[in-house]
Amino acid sequence: MLGLGAEPDSLNPVLGYSVDGGSLMFDGLVRRTPDLKLQPALAESLPEVTGEEVRFTLRQGVTFHDGRPLTGADVVHTYEQVLDPANNSPVRGDYAAIEKVESPDPRTVVFHLRHPYAPILQRATLGIVPDKSDLSADPIGTGPYAFVSWTKGDKLTLRANDRYWGGRPAIESLVLAYTTDDNARATRMAAGEFTATELPPKAVARFRDQPGLTVHEVPSADYRGVMFPLEQPVTGDLAVRKALGLAVDRGAMVAAILAGAGEPAYGPIAPGTDWHNPAVTGSAAPDRAKAIATLEAAGWKAGQDGIRVKDGTAARFTLMYPAGDSLRKELALAVASDAKRIGIDVRPAGLDWDAIDQRMAEDALIMGWGSPYDPDYTNYELFHSAYAGQGYFNPGRYRDPEVDRLLERGRAAADPAARKQVYDRVQQRISDDAVWLYLVYLKHTYVVRGEWSGLTPGVEAHEHATGGLLGTVVNWKPAP
């Protein structure tokens, strides 16, 4: 049994389930290796990407869990379902460059693009579902594990796929137990309920040096930061946002909240990845004098209670975080403490996601995103004005025509060097506008019981509930 902190809304790739290829039930045309290289999965080989047509040849002998053979019609159906507006797929925008998908014969699939789209192979990790399948039906894929049952709010049970084209997994039965509260998950791990679980860095301390348990720290592109609602008078003021960026003590956050398992964050693309702009940086230590000077110059004057005021508006706002997420709670409290020292009153509020969803236009939020894959990933949705106010994509309603143009150019350009220049400019612009208050990049921390081979983690994305170290379970074997 594996303990997970997040439960998916759906188990259908069409509706956004594990589109990055981490699912145990589905395969994409391609998949990623631990070092983030692409390799064929349901496709026989990686095709050349030139211009506006991409042609895949399917692997022979692949069957779905119910015994049906994989054909090109299944691939066509999957992508058509994603692109159909009636299905309201949350990942539809990721595939907007696709004009149509055709299958001239059972083993051939042709993608026709509206324009050249550099990340098309990266997007081909989307899990394939059977032709004519219903979105509400029990999941049927081609992956190493098959669906048995799902008790929402509790657990997902899977069984090994005897016919898996990549070889049957060593672990016969798998239970993914969903426990959103970090402390409850740690308690269940300590009680011996879980074989492995994900926990915040501080929570794994109790498991270090315990016999039979191993703590794994895995590098990630996963950041935490403050999403600002930009249409509000306080958080919409650039001087307030810049002052907070100067006032927070990122170094202390890494040391105390992450127990050293991370690093300060200053932008949306992680250091050490190919697309990071090293010019977008800052200081891990606060500069409160400069923060105060920034506020003073913008007309934010200290009131009698120490809280700054401008044009009758107090420098005060609510900072939400998901209740049960101990790491985000601690970050929210740290931001509030640092903000108070420069005269800004930040009020943390722990809420459930349903309540948060209704308030993102008015209140700030400790959010997490980040991907080590192509820079088009999440950044287009987070910063393009077309997504302003669309759920958790661009909830702050950021709008900048220049950033829009750069993001559109970046996904259409074929030359990696040209794309790097574009995304360097995007990162600089986001920094100049202080769209987010970036705080920390995390190392993902896990506790594993027993001795296993096959644990092969790579740099992980924010959305690692179906991937990450626990997603490598298909390769786990008990150590001799």
- Locus of tokens 């050293």: 260
Residues 197 and 326 reside in one and the same domain? no
Structural domain containing residue 449: 145-217+445-478
Task: Collapse the DSSP code of 229 into the 3-class scheme (helix H, G, I; strand E, B; otherwise coil) and give the result.
Answer: coil
Burial class of residue 470 (count of CB atoms within 10 Å of its CB; 0-12, 13-18, 19+) = buried
Q: Structurally, how many domains does the chain consist of? A: 3
**The residue type at 392:** Y
State the distance between the two ends of the chain, measured CA to CA, in whole angstroms.
21
Q: How many residues make up the chain in this entry?
A: 480
> Does the global pTM surpass 0.85?
yes
Determine, yes or no, domain membership for 6. Answer: no
Tokens of 305: 């209670």
CATH number of the domain to which 292 belongs = 3.10.105.10
What are the φ/ψ torsions at residue 147 (nearest 5 degrees)?
Answer: -65, 135
Residue 63 is given by DSSP the state B
Nearest-5° angle of CA 179, CA 183, CA 187? Answer: 85
- CA angle at 390 for the pair 369 and 128, rounded to the nearest 5°: 70
Asked whether residue 454 is assigned to any structural domain, the reply reads: yes
Q: Which two tokens stand for residue 53?
A: 């047509």
- Answer yes or no: are the C-beta atoms of 198 and 463 closer than 8 Å: no
Q: What span, in angstroms and rounded, lies between the C-alpha atoms of 134 and 145? A: 20
Q: Is residue 5 part of a domain?
A: no
> Does 71 lie in the same domain as 105?
yes
The answer to whether 140 touches 64, Cβ cutoff 8 Å, is: yes
Verify that 283 and 151 share a domain, yes or no. no
Q: What is the pLDDT along the chain (480 residues), one digit of tens a residue?
A: 999 998 998 999 999 898 776 789 999 999 998 888 999 999 999 999 888 999 999 999 999 999 999 999 999 999 999 999 999 998 998 899 999 999 999 999 999 999 889 999 999 999 999 999 988 889 999 999 999 999 999 999 999 999 999 999 999 999 999 999 999 999 999 999 999 999 999 999 999 999 999 999 999 999 999 999 999 999 999 999 999 999 999 999 999 999 999 999 999 999 989 999 999 999 999 999 999 999 999 999 999 999 999 999 999 999 999 998 999 999 999 999 999 999 999 999 999 999 999 999 999 999 999 999 999 989 999 999 999 999 999 999 999 999 999 999 999 888 999 999 999 999 999 999 999 999 999 999 999 999 999 998 888 988 766 668 888 899 999 988
In a domain, 300, yes or no: yes
Question: How many other CB atoms sit within 10 Å of the CB of residue 461?
Answer: 23
Do 212 and 224 fall into the same domain? no
Question: Whole-angstrom Cα distance, residue 241 to residue 226?
Answer: 10
State the CB neighbour count (10 A cutoff) for residue 312. 6
pLDDT digits (tens, 9 = 90+) for 304-322: 999 999 999 999 999 999 9
